Amino acid sequence: MNIHVIESLNLTQTQRSRLDKLGKVIYFDGVPDEDEVIKRSENADILAADWSPIDLAIPKMKKGVKLISLPFTGVGFLPLDEAAKKGIKIANAPGYSTESVAEFGIGLMISLVRKIYLYVKNEPKPESTFTLHGRTLVILGAGNIGEAVGDIAKSLGMKIIIWRRGDNLIKVLKQADVLYCALPFSEETKGLLGEKEFNSLKQGSYFVTTSHNQIYDHTALLKVLDKNLNGAAIDLEGTNTGDYKSEAYIKLKNHSKILLTPHIAYKTDYSTKRGHDIMVDNIEAFIKGKPINIVN
Determine the pLDDT at residue 122. 80
Backbone angles phi and psi of 212, in degrees to 5: -55, 135
Question: How distant is the alpha carbon of residue 201 from its chain centre?
Answer: 24
**Mean pLDDT on 66-93:** 96
Q: How far apart are CA 72 and CA 252, in angstroms?
A: 26
Residues sharing a CB contact under 8 Å with residue 85, sequence separation 6 or more, in sequence order: none
Residues 50, 158, single domain; the answer is: no
Report the largest interatomic distance among the alpha carbons of the chain, rounded to a whole angstrom.
64
Q: Domain with 232 in it: what CATH number?
A: 3.40.50.720
Residue, of 123 and 84, whose pLDDT is higher: 84
Q: pLDDT averaged over the chain?
A: 96
User: pLDDT by residue (tens digit) across 115-148?
Assistant: 999 998 888 888 899 999 999 999 999 999 999 9
| Count of the separate structural domains present in the chain | 2
Residues 15, 117, single domain; the answer is: no
Residues 139, 227, single domain; the answer is: yes
Percentage of the residues of the chain whose pLDDT score is greater than 70: 100
In a 10 Å sphere around its CB, with 0-12 CB exposed, 13-18 middle and 19+ buried, how is residue 155 labelled?
A: exposed
Residues 168, 211, single domain; the answer is: yes
Residue ranges making up the domain that contains 174: 98-261
Residues 14, 53, single domain; the answer is: yes
Residues 35, 115, single domain; the answer is: no
Residues sharing a CB contact under 8 Å with residue 66, sequence separation 6 or more, in sequence order: 45, 46, 87, 88, 89, 286
Percentage of the residues of the chain whose pLDDT score is greater than 90: 93
Residues 237, 181, single domain; the answer is: yes
Beta bridge partners of 235: 261
Predicted TM-score (pTM) of the model is: 0.91
Q: Are strands 2-5 and 24-27 parallel, antiparallel or unpaired?
A: parallel
Residues 174, 78, single domain; the answer is: no
